[in-house]
A and B are shown apart, each in its own frame.
Chain A
Amino acid sequence: MSVDQATVRRVAHLARIAVRDEELGHLQNELNAILEFVEQLADLDVSGVEPLTGVVPMELPMRDDVVTDGHYPEKVLANAPDAEGGFFTVPKVVE
């Protein structure tokens, strides 16, 4: 499988990365080189094989459903590029 430039543009948008037109050709070649490399996995018969989701057999630990953290908004906001009045800000989303 290989990707065309329209697909590169669509994937970049899905990934929320702005791409200039002049970058498309280069990115397309690089992505296709990687996709060509992983193509060899198609040679393998994986029917009846379970996908591996964890390497160490263990159950996800559970804890009581109680509040264990919080109450320090200044720490949470300390690295925000544009915090205001105790909130994160974003450009206006609704008109």
Chain B
Amino acid sequence: MTNLTQLTLTEAREGLAEGEFTSVELTEAYLKAMADARHLNAYVLETPELALKMAKESDARIASGDAGRLEGIPLGIKDMFCTQGVRTTACSKILENFVPQYESAVTANLWRDGAVLLGKLNNDEFAMGSSNETSAFGAVVSPWRRDGDQAPLVPGGSSGGSAAAVAAYLCAGATGTDTGGSIRQPAAFTGTVGIKPTYGRCSRWGIVAFASSLDQAGPFARSVNDAALLLRSMAGYDAKDSTCVDRPVPDYQQAVGASIKGKKIGIPREYRMDGMSDEIDALWKEGAKWLEEAGAEIVDISLPHTKYALPAYYIVAPAEASSNLARYDGVRYGVRVPGKDVVEMYENTRAAGFGPEVRRRIMIGTYVLSAGYYDAYYLRAQKVRTLIKRDFDQAFAAGVDAVLTPATPSPAFGIGEKVKADPVEMYLNDVFTVTVNMAGLPGISVPAGLSADGLPLGLQLIGRPFEETTLFSLAEVIEEAAGRFPVEDLWWRG
């Protein structure tokens, strides 16, 4: 039974349907794997009793022929999703005791379809970070290590726990959230598949808000088909999120393996950054070649405002965060630190409850929204956002179906390696992913190769709004050509 955890979600689903094993057996195997991997720090809360209860109910539904689409499949949930009766912290001290009285729309959709909750996954505090090192629960250790080197590496962030757990076989799939690259960058760092769907495709209701005009939920999985299955369940209209779009959710699995003949793939010249490493450049060319061999047409395109996306993001996202995080005031939930009056109570509570990166971003956001600076910073950034979106609109109007880029400028780095650097250096991790959030487009990160020192590298495909199906078809071509990149050395099990 030891290898049950290493099945893909697609294979586990078939095994359950065929009666080869039960959901309780599968869930127990994952709970055991989680217990053996605690020093990876991927989970911040394990829910074994709930998991086994849900698995038993799934087995009963499978037996009676009432199985849902994800019946009996054990999942990990990023700690940004509110789960009713199950502590949800956003990995911040300020929410260390928060137990939601309601369920997020996305997780409710997963339970509706029969999935099993294994526990809550680590992330950067309030999803602010690119390495999972800002979590109040501490860093996550990636299951990947460089060849011949035992130095612990980051799994990326902010959904670092999700990426590490999927790569290390600690769940069959996981949820993530992506505001500037928080699904796609950790997916690339861990050899997993991660998709951020179009803004509005998944409901944001019940997800701890970071930057509301950029946040989207999406899945992490060990194969493209697994990701397609998960997104189908996660997506869908929800009246409780006024930005959630009311349109049918396609059967994404149908798109996996579909022909890509005649698809026009844009290669944006502005993504060829100064100092880009040869291996990233070679991977990118290889990806284009695979798509071309499968019948796609490769065209050079220009997205001239690309270099402005990251600076504009670091105005828009902190501004929205400063507003969203105003609710953590020591009154309605979370930790309270007393003060001599109400203002001092707020100030003491927030100083003690927020970590340094969150404080920094709230302060930047407060500054750019403050009287006298709003036009120079926030309004200008929103105008730049229009230009970034227009670049993509023009490429799509010229017939481009999807854009191919590297997912990250480098493979994973070591824990602590970038902590001392100035914050901007960490932000540069998201240089290829952040444009997609700024324009609200869907983007998928798919593993495509290994670096010289044996670490996974990912390619990103960016699609037209609500054309996730095209991304799944293209990503499958890359997966078929490149192969999958499963972790082979389960060193953490001792």
Contacts and interface: CB of A to CB of B under 8 A. Distances in A.
B278 interface: no
Interface stretch (B69-77, B223-231, B379-387): B379-387
A79 B332 contact: yes
A27 to B, nearest CB: 7
B198 A56 contact: yes
Interface in A1-34: 1, 3, 7-8, 11-19, 27, 30-31, 33-34
A82 interface: yes
B243 interface: yes
Given A49-B387, A91-B339, A79 B333 contact: yes
B387 A15 contact: no
Given A46-B384, A93-B342, A37 B347 contact: no
A70 interface: no
A22 B423 CA distance: 19
B311 A38 contact: yes
Contact of A27 (B346, B354, B360): B360
A56 B382 contact: no
A71 interface: no
Contact of A17 (B351, B422, B465): B351
Interface string B92-107: 0000011101000000
Given A41-B381, A60-B242, A78-B101, A34 B364 contact: yes
Given A11-B370, A18-B347, A41-B308, A58 B200 contact: yes
B213 interface: yes
Contacts of A86: none
Interface string B364-375: 111100100000
A79 B386 CA distance: 40
Given A11-B363, A16-B350, A38-B315, A56 B380 contact: no
A66 interface: no
A17 B359 contact: yes
Q: Range of interface residues on chain A?
A: 35 or more
B334 A15 contact: no
A85 interface: no
A55 B440 contact: yes
Given A19-B351, A56-B465, A49 B332 contact: no
A70 to B, nearest CB: 13
Most B CB contacts (10 A, CB to CB) among A27, A31, A56 go to A56
A17 B311 contact: no
Nearest to B390: A49
Contact of A18 (B308, B312, B348, B377): B348
A31 B330 contact: no
B239 A30 contact: no
B341 interface: yes
B457 to A, nearest CB: 26
B367 A3 contact: yes
Contacts of B383: 46, 49-52
Given A41-B311, A79-B98, A90 B424 contact: no
Interface of B: 97-99, 101, 198-200, 213, 239, 242-243, 245, 305, 307-308, 311-312, 314-315, 322, 326, 329-336, 338-348, 350-351, 354, 359-360, 362-367, 370, 376-377, 379-387, 389, 422-424, 427, 439-441, 465
6 contacts: A14-B366, A16-B343, A39-B311, A49-B387, A52-B385, A76-B101
Given A53-B213, A61-B239, 6 more contacts: A46-B387, A49-B383, A51-B385, A52-B385, A79-B101, A91-B345
